[in-house]
Chains A and B, each alone.
Chain A
Amino acid sequence: GIQVEQSPPDLILQEGANSTLRCNFSDSVNNLQWFHQNPWGQLINLFYIPSGTKQNGRLSATTVATERYSLLYISSSQTTDSGVYFCAVVGGIGGSTLGRLYFGRGTQLTVWP
Chain B
Amino acid sequence: EPEVTQTPSHQVTQMGQEVILRCVPISNHLYFYWYRQILGQKVEFLVSFYNNEISEKSEIFDDQFSVERPDGSNFTLKIRSTKLEDSAMYFCASSGSVTIQETQYFGPGTRLLVL
Q: A30-B101, A97-B56 are in contact. Are A43 and B109 (CB under 8 A)?
A: yes
- When the two chains form their complex, are residues B48 and A31 in contact, meaning their CB atoms are under 8 A apart? no
* The one of B43, B89, B103 that contacts A48, using a Cβ cutoff of 8 Å: B103
Flag whether A35 is at the interface (Cβ < 8 A): yes
Chain A's nearest CB lies how many Å from the CB of B111?
7
- When the two chains form their complex, are residues A41 and B100 in contact, meaning their CB atoms are under 8 A apart? no
Q: CB-CB < 8 A to A30: which residues of B?
A: 100-101
* The one of A40, A41, A102, A105 that contacts B45, using a Cβ cutoff of 8 Å: A102
- When the two chains form their complex, are residues B42 and A104 in contact, meaning their CB atoms are under 8 A apart? yes
Chain B interface residue count, CB cutoff 8 Å, equals 28
Chain A's nearest CB lies how many Å from the CB of B45?
5
- When the two chains form their complex, are residues A97 and B44 in contact, meaning their CB atoms are under 8 A apart? no
Q: CB-CB < 8 A to A48: which residues of B?
A: 103
Cα–Cα distance between A108 and B58 once the two chains are bound (Å): 26
Closest Cβ neighbor of A92 among chain B residues:
B100
Q: A45-B106, A100-B56 are in contact. Are A31 and B42 (CB under 8 A)?
A: no
Flag whether B75 is at the interface (Cβ < 8 A): no
Closest Cβ neighbor of B89 among chain A residues:
A41
Closest Cβ neighbor of A100 among chain B residues:
B45
Closest Cβ neighbor of B56 among chain A residues:
A97
Flag whether A56 is at the interface (Cβ < 8 A): no
Flag whether A19 is at the interface (Cβ < 8 A): no
Flag whether B55 is at the interface (Cβ < 8 A): yes
Flag whether B35 is at the interface (Cβ < 8 A): yes
Binding site for A on B (CB under 8 A): 31, 33, 35, 37, 41-45, 48, 50, 55-56, 58, 89, 91, 93, 95, 100-106, 108-109, 111
Q: A35-B106, A45-B105, A99-B55 provided; 7 other pairs, C-beta below 8 A?
A: A31-B103, A42-B106, A45-B106, A86-B42, A97-B48, A97-B56, A99-B56
